[in-house]
Structure 1
Amino acid sequence: MSANEPLSHDQLDALIVRLRLGVDASELHGSLCGYLAGGASSNGGKLLAALELEGVEDVAPSPADQATLDALLRQCREALADPDLGFEPLLPDGDRPLDERAEAVVDWCRGFLGGFGLAGTGPHAKLSDDAQEVLRDFGTVAASSFDFGDSAEDEDALIEVQEFLRVGALLLYTESAGRGQSGSDRLH
């Protein structure tokens, strides 16, 4: 992975296997995005512990793996703050089976909600009605199991859910993490 090349789902999965974490790539990415979107400051080497991931207490990343984690953190932060709205949830490629991709969407939402909560954005935060609705909808997706019938319709529905996650994460990041920004820098 070069410094400017985004970490892929498969690369993150390989890192998770090396570190023996109790999550998959989509859930870890969701956790990290939720943590950042919730307004938490990124604290580099202590990131895995801050996310309270299963098995983290036994993890001592090698310098190369720590550099990859740092790059992932930077990638997430830059994507969420991208003025061109280029953020995308890290999910398996479109050539993977539909059920695998749908389960990754559920895992990403579960991770996002956990990370958002750990960031300290509590129920007293002044989130807009839209942002509160996004959190409720993320919860609905996180608790979902999918039944598949018509593959073309199912594919379209999954694409719509992924787009909702993308836009919802950006809204939550703008409202929570962007609180300190001037009004002209915030998304509307």
Structure 2
Amino acid sequence: MTATGPIGHDDIDALIMRLRLGTEASELHGSLCGYLAGGATPQGGNVLAALQLDGEATAPSADDLSLLQRLTRQCESELSDAELGFEPLLPADDRPLTERAEAVVDWCRGFLGGFGLAGTAAHASLSEEAQEILRDLGTIAASSFDFDNEDEDEDALIEVQEFIRVGVLLLYTECNRHDPAASGSVH
């Protein structure tokens, strides 16, 4: 990782290990994205407090706090990207399929937790489509995967990831629009 390059899954994983947060990298990223998609921002930039994450008696260093602030800015930028370039942060494609599928489940679990922590009034007025996306993310978060055919399973995982990506963008758009008359549709 460079000080200016994008923060990756391994960078978050190393941070979690240093701080002994008791979560997975994908779950932490999902939590932060859910919190931001729900319309909240960490007050004072304290991501760990906003997401209610505490390390095991390991205080974050200045570098750790800087990394968390960069991660927050990166997530905000990706979620608001006009080119719809947002992607859930998951293990690299060369990792085993089971590991990547488990990370998808962790990411969705984290997203739902972060979205709930955002607790904005916008949640009460979500469109039916957005409410359905939240229910579907809940189904994914409660899933376990069985793999029979690696090629078909790889394709299915890619489809699930794309559903998550587009669904999260719709939720972000609905909860973060500044014009109440704006449409909540993402195409």
- TM-score interval, smaller chain: over 0.9
TM-score (norm 2): 0.92
Which whole-Å CA distance do the structure 2 matches of 1:123 and 1:130 have between them?
14
Deviation at 1:182, TM superposition (A): 6.7
Q: Deviations over 1:141-178 (max 9, x none)?
A: 00000000000000000000000110011000000122
CA contact (8 A) 1:44 1:70 kept: no
Query: Unpaired runs of 5+ in structure 2?
Result: none
Query: Unpaired runs of 5+ in structure 1?
Result: none
Q: Which residue of 2 aligns with 1:157?
A: 156
Q: Which residue of 2 aligns with 1:7?
A: 7
CA contact (8 A) 2:26 2:104 kept: yes
Letter in structure 1 aligned against 2:101: A
Identity, % of aligned pairs? Answer: 66
Deviation at 1:114, TM superposition (A): 0.2
Q: Which residue of 1 aligns with 2:90?
A: 91
Instruction: State the number of aligned residues.
Output: 186
Distance 1:119-1:164 versus aligned 2 partners, 3 A rule: same
Moved more, 72-81 or 41-50: 41-50
Q: Which residue of 2 aligns with 1:58?
A: 57
Q: What is the root-mean-square deviation in Å for CA atoms of aligned residues? A: 2.0
Q: Which residue of 2 aligns with 1:33?
A: 33
Which whole-Å CA distance do the structure 2 matches of 1:132 and 1:49 have between them?
27
Alignment of 1:75-114 (within 5 A): 75-114=74-113
Which whole-Å CA distance do the structure 2 matches of 1:128 and 1:160 have between them?
23
Q: Deviations over 1:69-96 (max 9, x none)?
A: 1110000000000000000000000000
CA contact (8 A) 1:49 1:57 kept: no
Deviation at 1:58, TM superposition (A): 3.3
